[in-house]
Amino acid sequence: MAMKKRLIKVTLSLPTGDVVWDQSLMINIRVMKMALGIKSQATIDIGGLSQDSRQALLTQFSAYAKRQREQGDTGDADNFVPIRVEAGYQDGSVSNLAPIFNGQVVLCELASPPPNVVIRITAYTQQIQKGQNLEVAPDRVTFKQYAEWCAKQMGLKAEVHTHMDDTLVDNPGRTAYKVDALLPDLQRNYDRYGIGAYIDDDTLYVMDIGDVAKASEEITLTQFVGTPMWTEWGVEYTVMFDPNIKLGHAVKLQSILNPTVNNIGFVNVMMEYNLASRNNPFYINVQASPSAGEAE
C-alpha cells in the first residue's frame, strides 16, 4: 500500500488578503485543546519565510504590541489577525484537510537565529472576547436561550441539545461579569442536572452528559504510537493524526499491549496535536475519561 503524503495548511486572514503556508515550508505545530478550558493554544514554528514576511510578523506581533493590546491601549480589533490550522493526508489524487484550530495571533518571536531563521507564532482561540464585560444577562429565559446567549457573548457558534432546552431559568449567569466566566458558570451550575458544556475551536457544545457518548459517532482505535496507559482520570494514548478523533467525542481502544483499557467507553477531554511537515511527528496525544453516560 502506498504511503500517504501528510498535508499542513496555515492561513492568516489579513486585511489585505489571506496568507497561506503549507507543508512545502518547514512547519512544526503544537495545538493544545481542553474540553473544560475556555481557550485552546497553538504554537507554530515556521522556517523558510521571506525577510519581508518575517519582519512584518515580528513587528506587528511583538511582545510590546501584545502588552499594549492586553492593556487596551490600541483599541484596534484588527490587531488580532485570525489564523486557521488544517491538517490531513493526500492519498493518490485525493486530498483531505480537516480544521484543527481557529483562533487569533497573539505573539510572534524568533525561535531560531540566523542562518536558519525560524519564527514562532503563538495563537489562542477567542482572544478578542476573553476579557470583555458581559451585556446584561437575561432575567428569565429558557435554558437553551441562555446557552445560546453565552455563546454569542463568547463570539462562538452554539450547539445546544439537552433535556432542559425548554425549561425556564431565572437570573442565569448572575455571578458572571466577564466573558471568560461563562463556561465555568454553565459547567458548575448545571452539572447537577446531568448537562455538560465544552468549547472546541469556534463552537460551544452544551448537551446531556449521556449524549456526549453517541454510539453513532463512537470510533474504535487499534493502532497506537506507544502503549495506552491508565492515568488518574482515565487513559492516555497517542495515535497518528486522524481527523475523526475529536474533542468531547466517544472512543474505544483495542490495545494488544495493554488490554485492560479495551472495550471501555471513553470521552476525549484533552488533545495535543504534534504535527511537522518534515520531521517525524504527526501525532495526536489524547487524554480521555470514562463516559458518565451510556452510549446511545
- Separation of alpha carbons 171 and 152, rounded Å: 17
Top-tier CATH class for 140-211 = alpha beta
Query: For position 68, what pLDDT does the model report?
Result: 67
Q: What is the CATH architecture of 213-290? A: Beta Barrel (2.40)
Q: Give the closest residue to 56 by CA, choosing from 73, 81, 26, 74.
A: 81
- Grid cell at residue 244: 475523526
Q: What residue ranges in the chain does DSSP mark as E strands?
A: 5-14, 17-22, 26-34, 41-47, 82-91, 94-112, 118-124, 140-142, 157-161, 168-170, 195-200, 203-208, 219-221, 229-230, 235-240, 250-253, 266-276, 282-290
**Cβ-based burial of 210 (10 A; exposed 0-12, middle 13-18, buried ≥19):** middle
Q: What residue ranges in 164-257 does DSSP mark as E strands?
A: 168-170, 195-200, 203-208, 219-221, 229-230, 235-240, 250-253
Report the share of the chain in percent with pLDDT over 90.
34
Report the share of the chain in percent with pLDDT over 70.
86
- Grid cell at residue 220: 474504535
Residue 270 contacts by C-beta under 8 Å, 6 or more apart in sequence?
32, 33, 34, 35, 247, 286, 287
Identify residue 7 by its one-letter amino acid code.
Answer: L
* pLDDT bracket for residue 215 (50, 70, 90): low
- Grid cell at residue 87: 491538517
Residues of the chain with CATH 2.40.30: 213-290
Domain 5-124 has CATH 2.40.10: yes
- Grid cell at residue 99: 480544521
Query: For position 11, what pLDDT does the model report?
Result: 94
pLDDT at 240 over 90: yes
Residues in the chain: 296
Question: What's the pTM value of the predicted model, to 2 decimals?
Answer: 0.83
In tens, the pLDDT along 66-77 reads 666 666 555 554
3-state SS, one letter per residue, for 176-199 = CCEHHHHHHHHHHHHHHHCEEEEE
Identify residue 71 by its one-letter amino acid code.
Answer: Q
- The DSSP code for 69 is H
In tens, the pLDDT along 119-130 reads 999 998 866 556
Q: Which residues of 40-70 are buried (b: 16+ CB within 10 A; e: fewer)?
A: bbbebbbbebeeeebeebeeebeeebbeebe
Residue 53 contacts by C-beta under 8 Å, 6 or more apart in sequence?
19
Q: Which residues face 109 on adjacent strands? A: 120
**Cβ-based burial of 128 (10 A; exposed 0-12, middle 13-18, buried ≥19):** middle
Mean pLDDT computed over 138-165: 88
Residues of the chain with CATH 2.40.10: 5-124
Q: Give the closest residue to 218 by CA, choosing from 241, 265, 251, 246.
A: 251
Query: For position 15, what pLDDT does the model report?
Result: 74
In tens, the pLDDT along 268-290 reads 989 999 999 988 889 999 999 88
Mean pLDDT computed over 86-100: 88
- Grid cell at residue 56: 512584518
